[in-house]
Amino acid sequence: MRPQIVLLGRANTVRYARREALLGEDFAFPVWQNEDLLTRWKRTGFPAEVDRLFLVQLPATGALVGTILMTRVRKLEYEVAYGIQPTWRRNGLATKGVGLALRSMSEELKQSIRVFAHVSAENTASVRVLQAHEFVQVLPTNNYGLQRWELELTPSPISTGNS
């Protein structure tokens, strides 16, 4: 069964304490997946700077297999972060999810913003996700093994009233 990607909504209407707990890492994913995500958010809250959250879910069960998160870092600058459960990788879900997140942002923009991501230089799959959406590597690999990729996201014609 193919997972679907669902826009949970403007995440700033919900509060959540720890973004890292949501994104998790491969070994942490099952830990936070065990508790119903919506129940957890009602209990713990969500950071106000998080603008959009996409859930990658199985349609039949609603089981969570990944997330795509757009976080406001400062005015006109956002970070995109994403994670897919290991058993569901290599299916294009991160590429599709990041595309939906970018499109969602673009439709509401009044002016251009910068979107960036930090990825491990060794994570070629994540690099390909960013390249698929025309992100450009702007900083070489740092001491932590991370690269910075950026994209200038412009308002869509729908949001500006242009045809």
Instruction: Please tell me the predicted confidence (pLDDT) of residue 116.
Output: 94
Distance CA 120, CA 105 (A): 25
Q: pLDDT tens for residues 7-37?
A: 544 433 322 323 333 444 433 333 334 345 5
| Domains identified in the chain and CATH numbers | 4-160 (3.40.630.30)
Residues of the chain with pLDDT under 50: 1, 8-35, 159-163
Q: Would strands 113-120 and 77-84 be described as parallel, antiparallel, or unpaired? A: parallel
Q: Which two tokens stand for residue 118?
A: 């930090």
